[in-house]
Structures are given as C-alpha cells and as structure tokens.
A and B are shown apart, each in its own frame.
Chain A
C-alpha cells in the first residue's frame, strides 16, 4: 500500500507568489519523521525541510515551511516568495521509527514557476 501520497502532479505559479503542495501519509507507528526533498532539472535531489511527528510546531527553513496536520496525516509544503529557481519536482517522504532507516517517497509534484 502506498504510504505517501502526493495528489498534485503539477502546479504552475507566477514568481513571488506563495504555493502549497499537499502530501498525505499513512503509518501505524506513533513516531515518524517527515521530509521534503526537491529534484532539480539536472536530477540532483536536495533535502529541504523535516518535521518530526512529536513536534507540534510547524518547521520553517528559509522560505520553506510546513503545515503539519497530524489528525489528518497531512504534511503540506509551503513556499513563499517563489523564484524561478524553485522550479523542480518536490517529493514528500516519510520514515517510520521502526523502518530500518527506510524512507518512503511520494510520486512527486512538478512545480513550474513562471515570470
């Protein structure tokens, strides 16, 4: 069964606006770790931000922030003041506490930022 689901295949925004990418996950573990990565056009995979399930406060790093809604098993990525260079595929990922360090990835959301 798919553990991480990203329903948005592609999003297009105008630069300097805010975009939200959705992600829902499923797990039976009480403790788990959520990550967002981006994959650039060159194929490079870059770690962006993480949320630990036991933390109530939403994580923020630079112009990335998370909307963690634990009761809904949802972890949205918010990018403010988008730039052309933010165009990439964004992957939501989850690691369960008892998963032997395995990270499960979603299918990704293609973000296109237009001038």
Chain B
C-alpha cells in the first residue's frame, strides 16, 4: 500500500541555518503531496502542497518540489527562525481515497 517515509528527528539547527527535511513516498497512481506543521499544543496545519510532478509548493519561506523520478517531496527553508520550531509531517493523498497517509513526523528545534 501507499506509504510515506520521513527522516527521523529531532533536527536541531541554529537560527538562520538552512533546513532540509527529507520525505520519500511509495504510491500507486499520482497522489497529491502535502507538508503539515504542528506547533506545541495545536492541531496540524497545512503548510504547503503539490498536486502533480514538478510542482513546487511554497508558503512562509518553506518550499518543496514534487519529484516523481525520485519519489520525493523534501521540505526546505533557506533561513529558519526560532518560531519554526515544531513537528513537520509529510503526507500523501491515498489513491482513489479521501484518506491522507502521514509520515511519522520530524521534530525541528531552532536555537537562537
């Protein structure tokens, strides 16, 4: 079945460092791909999405490109802030379904 694998955390960075969180997927069909962010004590919020190959999703300085050839959707940000500290989830829309398949989450900690 469809699945999502993302890098283990925690990822600890200094403020203004470059961020990459890796995400790869296995899917039948051509799923949409998503990144969600969860701040402490809150629900998951959609950060960005891409609906087809080579699409780039972007929001709040974060971006991710849908790479069909490598089945990847890595999250990047050029300069992280302390306020970006959160858990990041990669997800895909399951084939012919309303369900989302989530990765296990990657905790990001940004130090001042």
**Are both chains from one complex?**
no
Residues of chain A whose beta carbon lies under 8 Å from any beta carbon of chain B: none
